[in-house]
Amino acid sequence: MNAPQTNSFRNGPDERGRFGIYGGRFVSETLMPLILDLEAEYGRAKEDPAFWAEMDDLWKHYVGRPSPLYFAERLTEHLGGAKIYLKRDELNHTGAHKINNVLGQILLARRMGKSRIIAETGAGQHGVATATVCARFGLKCVVFMGATDVERQKPNVFRMKLLGAEVVPVNSGRATLKDAMNEALRDWVTNVHDTFYCIGTVAGPHPYPQLVRDFQSIIGKEAREQILEREGRLPDTLVACIGGGSNAMGLFHPFLDDTDVAIIGVEAGGHGVDERMEHAASLTGGRPGVLHGNRTYLLQDEDGQILEGHSISAGLDYPGIGPEHSWLHDMGRVEYVSVTDEEALAAFKLSCVTEGIIPALEPAHALAHVARIAPKLPPEHLIVMNMCGRGDKDIFTVADALGVGL
C-alpha cells in the first residue's frame, strides 16, 4: 500500500466512516455490533489476495468482465462535437453494474458464515443481481420491494422468483424503495445472527458506502486502462447517472485525483427541480440530513420529514444519495446536474436509433446530459459515459410514456 496522499480526494472515509461531515453510523444499537463486525471482516478481506482472486475469477467468468469501452461513432457524429465512449456495463450478466458489488458482498457474507441474505430493491436490478449470486452460492435470499414497485416491475419480480428468492412486498410508508430499505433494516435487526444485509448502493451506515464503492471501482479502473490504450491519454469528461450513486462512484473514484478530468453526475430531475419537489435530485434540490444510517443530502420538508423522490426511472427515485457524492459536491470536485424525465426519454430513443443500444432509463439520464454538452465541445474532447444498465426492464415504462400499447 502506498502512503495516502494528503491532498487526495480518494482517502475517505475516515475512521468514523465520514467523508467530511457526511456518512457516519446512524443506526440502532442492535445493529451497531453487526456493522462493526462487517467493517472488521472487510478490513481483513481487502488485504487478502485470495479474496480478490476469487472476485477476479467471478468477474471474468461469471459476470463477463472487463466490460468493453466502446467508441460510439454514430452518436458522436450525430451530436457533432466531442468524441463519445460508452463503458458497456449493461453487458454484464444480469444486465447492469449491480452485480459487481453483489459478488463482493456475498463473498464477505460467506466469510462471515452468514446463510441468509436480505436486500432492498427499487426497479429490481439489485434484487435480481442479489438473487442471482445467492442462487450461484446456494444461499437463502429475501428481497424487500415496495408494493408499488412490485406492481410496476413485474418482470423483475418474476425473475427473482425464478432464481429462488423470496420477494416481500412492502406496504409500509409509501411502499417504494426507501420503505423497502426500512423494512430490510427491520428484518436485519430481527435476524441478527444468520443474516447479511446486501445494500445495493453507496449509501447506508459505514462501511457500506466504502465497500460498495470499492467493489464498483472496477468500472473506473477498467475504463482508465482502456482509454489509455485506445487514446493514449485520460478522458476530458466523465458522465454517469446517480440515484444512490453506485455506478457513478465506481466510474469516478479512480479518476478523482486526475484534476484535468472533469466529472459530472446526473441526477433525476423528474418533472423539473422546483418547489413542487417532483424529482429525485437530492443534491440539486435537497439539503443535508440523516437517513438509513448516514448523513447526506436528502429530499425533505422543512420539518425534517423525508419526501418521496419522483423519476420515470424506478432506479433513481430514492430521496437520498451516497455520502461521498455529498462530500464531492461540497468540495466542488464533481459537478452535479439534473435531467428531466422528458430529456431522458429523448436520449433513450437516441441511443436506440444511433447505436442499436436500448439503454436502461437510468443511463439514459447520463446520455441526455452528454447530448447537451457534446455538441459544444471540440472533436478531440473525450467523454466517457457509463452505460450502466440495459433497457429490457424499461420497455413497458417507455411504451407507456410514449403512449404505445403493448
Partner 1 sequence: MTRIEETFARLKEQNRKAFVAFVMAGDPDRAASLDLIKGLPAAGVDVIEMGMPFTDPMADGPAIQLAGQRALEAGQTMKDTLDMVRAFRETDARTPIVLMGYYNPVYSRGVDTFLAEAREAGVDGLIIVDLPPEEDEELCLPAQAAGLNFIRLATPTTDARRLPKVLTNTSGFVYYVSITGITGSAEANAASVGPEVSRIKAATDLPVCVGFGIKTPEGAASIAGIADGAVIGSAIVERIGRGEPVDQILTFVASLAEAVHNA
**What sign does the CA torsion over 281, 282, 285, 291 have?**
positive
Examine residue 147 and tell whether it contacts partner 1 (CB under 8 A): no
Q: Which is nearer to partner 1, 269 or 286 (CB)?
A: 286
CA–CA distance, 300 with 398 (Å, rounded to integer):
28
Q: Which is nearer to partner 1, 82 or 291 (CB)?
A: 291
Q: Which residues pair with 69 in a beta bridge?
A: 87
Instruction: Give the nearest distance from C-beta 303 to partner 1 in angstroms.
Output: 5
Examine residue 113 and tell whether it contacts partner 1 (CB under 8 A): no
CB 203 within 8 A of CB 320: yes
CB 169 within 8 A of CB 147: yes
CB 167 within 8 A of CB 150: yes
Examine residue 80 and tell whether it contacts partner 1 (CB under 8 A): no
Q: Which is nearer to partner 1, 8 or 115 (CB)?
A: 115
Of 168, 161, 113, nearest to 137 by C-alpha is 113
Q: Which is nearer to partner 1, 31 or 234 (CB)?
A: 31
Instruction: Give the nearest distance from C-beta 248 to partner 1 in angstroms.
Output: 24
Give, to the nearest 10 degrees, the angle between helix 98-111 and helix 125-137. 40
**# residues contacting partner 1 (CB under 8 A):** 36
Instruction: Give the nearest distance from C-beta 117 to partner 1 in angstroms.
Output: 18
Considering only 145-153, 286-294, 376-384, 387-395, which stretch makes contact with partner 1 by CB under 8 A? 286-294
For partner 1, the binding residue among 113, 303, 332, 403 (CB under 8 A) is: 303
Give, to the nearest 10 degrees, the angle between helix 208-216 and helix 98-111. 120
Considering only residues 30 to 59 of the shown chain, the ones binding partner 1 according to CB under 8 A are 30-34
CB 370 within 8 A of CB 383: yes
Binding site for partner 1 (CB under 8 A): 16, 24-34, 172-173, 178-179, 182, 185-186, 189-192, 289-293, 295, 298, 300, 302-306
